[in-house]
Amino acid sequence: GNFTMAGGTAAGKIAKWNGTTWANIGNASTSSVKALTVYNSQLIAGGGFGNMGGGANTSFIARWNGSSWASLGTGMNGVVYALGVYNNKLYASGSFTTAGGVTVAKIAVWNDTAWSSIGTGINGAVSIYAKCFAVYNGDLYAGGSFTSINGVTADYIAKFDGTTWTPVGSGMSGNVNTLVVNNGELYAGGSFVMAGGASAFKVAKWNGTAWSPMSTGMNNNPVTTAVNTLQVFNTEVYAGGSFIKASGTPTGRVSKWNTNVTIGIDEHQMENTFSVYPNPFSAETTIAFEKEYKNATLNIIDVLGKTIKTINFSGTQVTVDRDNMAQGIYFAQLVTHSSTSSVNGEVAGTKKLIVQ
């Protein structure tokens, strides 16, 4: 970052932690470090520095081998904001227009020998750049403040298969600052309020086909609110940023999303088969039971525990229309009643529904 001290020890914008104390890394930088990644068993740092640890040709990017800083070619001519590794190559993006002396447009790739451009690069003014990279389902995903990459229209996020860039759904409504993969899904955070055309305040997830919101997201009142970083710890996704609420709960700029426990309601298996098809669904889905029920109720409940639909039925299946259900996760809760009363029934089972 921009710090000059870590744990009371002088540190030039970058420091390492051994589990007990902080330490400086090779006299490091005189200007900010904005990105770190590991490539070919070396630590790669990118940022706004003119040199790293006094090393020659370490302008804006450098590598640490455990004892000293070294260059990657002749470095860049502008700030490096994002670093990522894909198919044994290092990707960098920022405000630079040359990498190792090669003309590029804010994005370049290093093959451990030389820098090269990626097509026509990223569009727009100097402020338009990728801020984050992640590898998901075999593709490299880039998020940032761009609206096209290599000539392909892509609103704030795109994916690369090693040859071609393509948009990710219909993209976002604003900057993507951070990406992380967890439990088979790609999570994105930023300043956007829509993902894939649906409301998603500052955070959303992609299942390879469609975007979905994460509950009600982060507080959407000031417009400056953003999620700046996402990370996975113990199978949970942690978010940090300028937000003060997550799903309406005060969280103080850091929050976690538990993919195994959902707020408001748990999922329970039934003794008898309780199947949902299709799931995910976009228009309607059918919930089928192995046995016939009489005088039963099916409640559709959102992730906050609020009942948004109540369907009274008798039989072996129920059709649920999407109606005004937004993209996201819901629960179908089966409640059985006595033959004479529809009040104070017993919950017989709950199944997760996904609207896409």
Tokens of 195: 């993902």
Mean pLDDT of the chain: 88
Q: How many CB atoms lie within 10 A of CB 43?
A: 17
Min mean pLDDT across 43-57, 79-93, 250-264, 307-321 is at 250-264
Q: How does DSSP classify residue 326?
A: P
Place of tokens 């921009």: 2
What's the pTM?
0.72
Side chain identity at residue 315, one-letter code:
G
pLDDT in tens, 296-322: 899 998 877 788 999 999 988 999 999
Q: How does DSSP classify residue 137?
A: T
Q: How far apart are CA 178 and CA 130, in angstroms?
A: 10
Confidence check: pLDDT of 267 > 80: no
Confidence check: pLDDT of 108 > 90: yes
Tokens of 46: 């990118």
> For residue 241, what are the β-bridge partners?
227
Asked if residue 73 lies in contact with residue 59, where contact means CB atoms within 8 angstroms, the answer is no
Q: Give, in order, the Cα–Cα distances in Å from 82 to each of 25, 123, 130, 255.
A: 20, 16, 7, 23
**For 273-302, what is the mean pLDDT?**
86
**For 254-274, what is the mean pLDDT?**
58
Residue positions counted in the chain: 356
pLDDT at 222: 58
Most confident of 180-194, 260-274, 280-294, 304-318: 180-194
